[in-house]
Amino acid sequence: MMRLAPRYLHGLVLADTRADADTPEGAANRDRMAQLARERGVAAVVDELIPKLLGPTTRRDNPAVEATVRSLAAQNSVSAVVGALHALKTRPDSTPVLGSIHVPVLIVAGEEDAITPPTVAEGLQKGIAGSTLSIIPRAGHLSSLENTDAFNAALAQFLEHRV
The whole-chain average pLDDT of the chain stands at 96
The reported pTM is 0.93
Query: Comparing C-alpha atoms, which of 155, 102, 99 is closest to residue 124?
Result: 99
Superfamily for domain range 1-20+94-163: Alpha/Beta hydrolase fold, catalytic domain (3.40.50.1820)
pLDDT in tens, 18-33: 999 999 999 999 999 9
pLDDT in tens, 84-98: 999 999 999 999 999
Beta bridge partners of 132: 106
As a residue count, the chain comes to 163
pLDDT in tens, 30-77: 999 999 999 999 999 999 999 999 999 999 999 999 999 999 999 999
CB count within 10 Å of CB 55 equals 27
Instruction: State the pLDDT confidence band at 162, using cuts at 50, 70 and 90.
Output: low
Determine what percent of the chain is predicted with pLDDT higher than 90: 95
